[in-house]
Structure 1
Amino acid sequence: MTPDMLVDQWRRGLRIAHRAHYEAAKYYYRMHLVLSLPAVLIAALLSTTVFAQLQDSTVAWVRVAMAVLSVLTVVLSSLQAALRFAERSERHKTAAVQLGEVRRELEQQLVFEHRDEAVIERLRKKWDAADRQAPTIPSRIYDRVAAMVAELGDKPPRAAK
Structure 2
Amino acid sequence: MATKTSRYIPPQCEDQLVLAWLRRARESQMAHYEMADLLSKKGRVLGVPVILLTSLIGASAFTSVASQIIPSWAKILIGLLSIAAAILSSLQTFFGYADRAEKHRTSAARFGAVRRQFEKVYAKRDKGIDSKAVETLCQELDKLAKESLHVPASIFLRVQRDVLYVGDEDTVNTNAVQSEMSER
Query: TM-score by structure 2 length?
Result: 0.78
Partner of 1:104: 116
**1:155 aligned to 2:166?**
no
Change (3 A) 1:49 1:152: farther
Partner of 2:129: 115
Partner of 2:36: 25
How much identity, in percent, do the aligned residues show? 29
* 1:143 CA drift (Å): 1.4
**1:130 aligned to 2:144?**
yes
**1:8 aligned to 2:24?**
no
Partner of 1:63: 75
* 1:16 CA drift (Å): 0.9
Contact 2:43 2:98 in 1 (8 A): yes
Q: Over residues 79-100 of structure 1, what are the superposed CA-to-partner deviations in whole Å (9 max), with x where a residue is unaligned?
A: 0111111111011011001100
Tell me how far apart the structure 1 counterparts of residues 110 and 158 of structure 2 sit (CA, whole Å): 21
Tell me how far apart the structure 1 counterparts of residues 13 and 68 of structure 2 sit (CA, whole Å): 76
* 1:54 CA drift (Å): 6.6
Greater helix percent: which structure? 1
Partner of 2:56: 45
Change (3 A) 1:54 1:73: farther
Contact 2:15 2:122 in 1 (8 A): no
Q: Over residues 22-72 of structure 1, what are the superposed CA-to-partner deviations in whole Å (9 max), with x where a residue is unaligned?
A: 0000111111111111101110111131353576222x3322221211111
Change (3 A) 1:55 1:145: farther
Equivalenced residues, count: 159
**Consecutive unaligned residues in structure 2, runs of 5 or more:** 1-11
**Consecutive unaligned residues in structure 1, runs of 5 or more:** none
RMSD over aligned Cα atoms: 2.1
